[in-house]
């Protein structure tokens, strides 16, 4: 993820996808575990993968942020570590909600997409 910007850039150029049609799904330590937020554009919030993507294509893409909670330990160790059994169950619920709502994203209905995700949580 940290160096994915070059590949993302190649894919959107090859398929002629406007950056504002791109959805990047990523973890966010500034959100509570299982919280989900959708936004277009913005900064990286210290997320190295987003920094790299932005450096290659700009910031005008969509982000689906999934909260993993801010760690009390070293951030790198935390984000590369494993969830507890309970945390994994919570994240699985979030992922299931995203999957069952994804048709709305493809129908260009971002507001309904995020609303349906939240309704299922």
Considering the four listed CATH numbers 3.30.1180.20, 3.40.140.10, 3.40.50.1820, 3.40.50.1470, the one that applies to the domain covering 5-120 is 3.40.50.1470
Token readout for 78 is: 């935390």
Question: What confidence score (pLDDT) does residue 78 get?
Answer: 86
In the chain, what are the domain boundaries? Answer: 5-120
Kind of pairing between the strands at 62-67 and 36-40 = antiparallel
Cα separation of 97 and 93, whole Å?
6
Instruction: Give pTM, 2 decimals.
Output: 0.90
In angstroms, what CA-CA distances link 23 with 14, 18, 71, 83, 103?
16, 11, 26, 24, 13
Tens digits of residue pLDDT in 90-121: 999 999 999 999 999 999 999 999 999 999 98
Tens digits of residue pLDDT in 60-89: 999 999 999 988 878 888 888 899 999 999
Question: What confidence score (pLDDT) does residue 112 get?
Answer: 96
- List helix spans (H) across the chain: 5-14, 48-57, 75-80, 85-106, 110-120
pLDDT at 6 over 80: yes
pLDDT at 1 over 80: no
Question: What confidence score (pLDDT) does residue 80 get?
Answer: 84
Residue at token pair 């406007």 = 18
In angstroms, what CA-CA distances link 80 with 40, 71, 86, 111?
26, 12, 17, 31
Tens digits of residue pLDDT in 16-63: 999 889 999 999 999 999 999 999 999 988 899 999 999 999 999 999
For the chain, the average pLDDT equals 93
Question: What confidence score (pLDDT) does residue 70 get?
Answer: 85
């Amino acid at each position: 993820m940290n160096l994915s910007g070059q590949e993302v850039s190649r894919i959107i150029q090859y398929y002629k996808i406007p950056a504002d049609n791109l959805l990047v799904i990523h973890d966010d330590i500034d959100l509570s575990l299982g919280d989900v937020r959708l936004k277009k554009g913005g900064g990286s919030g210290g997320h190295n993968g987003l920094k790299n993507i932005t450096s290659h294509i700009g910031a005008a893409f969509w982000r689906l942020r999934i909260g993993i909670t801010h760690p009390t330990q070293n951030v790198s160790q935390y984000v590369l570590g494993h969830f507890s059994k309970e945390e994994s169950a919570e994240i699985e619920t979030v992922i299931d909600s995203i999957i069952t709502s994804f048709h709305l994203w493809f129908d260009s209905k971002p507001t309904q997409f995020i609303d349906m995700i939240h309704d299922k949580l």
